[in-house]
Each structure stands twice: as structure tokens, then as C-alpha cells.
Structure 1
């Protein structure tokens, strides 16, 4: 079962505080054992070259470290999008496919050739849910499960990604993009 692998979790206004408020998460794994993803719209102030200087030429702009979630903040993981969905020589060394062209890239190996990827980001930590936990949060209205578009994971404007994803939805849902972050300011 791939469940929602490769789809976006978009925080609803029901999540009012913490790292998940107005977050957009790409689900890298989702099955009967739980779910794993990274928040793609939380850039930190640290440049990747401060943490992993040899990787600075391989990451997508903005070349910042991103907060991937509240779990494992003392570790980093790289997520890449293959430039070619079926490279003739096979995937680059250290690439582990997760959802289509999206996969994890081993930070312990040498940096990949930049042309191998359409984009690559480094995340501090990740978001994780136990069996049934994410499904319960979706059912209670905390998350929307939406299709990802090709530019979402590597958006050059991660700070506006929540608004952009919500705004492109059909029907009344797109009006959520006009809600102020603090409802008391309305």
C-alpha cells in the first residue's frame, strides 16, 4: 500500500500553532506502519554550505537548510527530484526512490552531479506519524491531502507555498488563502 505517498499534506486553519501551522508536507512514505514526510515551506536561517560545504553546489535555491519537522532535529536528510524519470544509467549513487522521481539522497556519500537532479534540498528533522495517527488527524480536519505539482517540493518561494497551494484548489477551499495567520486580525 502506497497510501498518500508523493502527495501533499496541507495544514488547515485548525492547526494554529507550532511548526505545523500553515505547513506543507510532502509525504515520502505512507503505509500500515505510519507516515513520514518533510515540511517543504520552513526554511531556516542557516545556509547549507555552513553545515555541508561540499553539498552547497548541489542544492536548489534558496540554498538554506529547511526544518523538515519536529522529529530528529539533530540529524539532516536530503530529498531530491530526479531530472530524468528513468535515467539510462540508473539512479545516481546514494539515491533511494520514495515517490516517483522523489527520493532520499545519502548525505554520507559524495554530492551528486547537479544535472542528475531537477532539485535537491537538505532538511533538519522530519515529520512522522504512527499507524493510523495521520489518518485520524485528516479525519478530524487538521490536514488536507492534495496532489503535488512539480514545482512544490523545490519552490523558490517556500514562504508563500501554503498560500499558493491553497489558492490553486477548486471551490471555496481557495478562499482559505485569504485568511490572516492570526484570526483576531480579521
Structure 2
């Protein structure tokens, strides 16, 4: 299978519980050793400034911490979208296109360096072959990502918005009721 780095994984109804239910995952890395990503549509109630003082001003609304996935929930991972590939902020490391990881130990990026920034508690990780199996089983749809998906001002609607913009029958997933068993 080709890499899905820089693409979105959109959970199907095959995932009906847990942190991945109706999730949209941005894949930061994917190779023969496995995959790593962050759930971009699960904001938490934690105020970012309380967790990482000084970083809230650089983060996009809503200015909260996001649940990045079930792995290492006690650690934080910042993902930023650069506005210009020529002027990258100190501590930004490219993952795919204009998306990269921002070093939380370094200086807080200043105005104009980033189009957007999100901070995630934990991440989503898959071992060798695990993600490929889940995709083959129909748990995930792999769709193109837009830079704006990572910094959507309305993350609660992102799952249906991403599905709605797809071609063909894939867009019909966006109308799936919250509980398909009640349909």
C-alpha cells in the first residue's frame, strides 16, 4: 500500500465506540514501520493557556487542547501549518506539505509565521501493517486533506464536512445518523 502521509483518515460506522468514533485523523507519518497521526476533530475542555502558558495566542480557535489519540495522552504534540515554506518558524519540522510538528520546548511562533496551530494531548499510532489492515477492513476512508482541516474553526462539524466534499458515493456517509441502529 502507498503511504497515506498528509492525508485524512475518516472513521466509518465500523468504528462505533472509543476515541476514533466519527473521528478525522490527519496522518503525520506513514512508512513500513507504522503510522502516526492526530485526531483533528475532538476538542477537549482544557484551556490551552492553562496547560501550556503562552501558546494559546498562537493557536487557532477554539483555543483549547485537542484529543490527539489514545497513545501518550499525558504528553502534548503541536502541529502547525506554515504560511510560507520560505519562512518557517524555529522549531517547526515538516511532515507533509505545509504541515509540520512544532517544538513545544522552543519559542512560541509569532504572528504571520503560521497559518494555524493546534496542540494535541496524545496521538494516534499504528504498528507495522495495522493501519493497512484497518483500511482494508473498511474502518477508515482515506481522503485528501486540506491545510484548513487541521485548524478548522468548527471541529465538531469536520467529520461530515470532509465527507460531504468527496466525490461519488463517499459523500453519502455524511448523512449517516449518529446511531445507525435507530434508522
TM-score normalised by length of structure 1: 0.95
In the alignment, which of 122, 138, 142 is matched to residue 135 of structure 2? 138
Superposed CA deviations along residues 112-165 of structure 1, whole A, max 9, x for unmatched, are 113100000000000000011000000000001110123111100000000001
Spell out the pairing of 1:105-116 with structure 2 (5 A cutoff).
105-116=102-113
How much does 1:70 deviate?
A: 0.2
The answer for unaligned runs of 5 or more in structure 1 is none
Counterpart position of 1:10? 10
Q: How far, CA to CA, are the matches of 2:86 and 2:142 in structure 1? A: 27
From 118, 121, 124, give the equivalent of 2:118: 121
Q: Deviations over 1:5-62 (max 9, x none)?
A: 1000010111100000110000000000100000000000011011112111111111
Deviations 1:97-125 (A, max 9, x none): 11111000010112111310000000000
After TM superposition, the runs of 4+ consecutive aligned structure 1 residues lying more than 6 A away are none
* Gapped regions of structure 2 (runs ≥ 5): none
What's the RMSD between the two structures over aligned residues? 1.3
Asked if 2 retains the 8 angstrom alpha-carbon contact of 1:2 and 1:29, the reply is: no
1:19 partnered with 2:16: no
**TM-score, normalised relative to structure 2:** 0.97
Partner residue in 1 for 2:98: 101
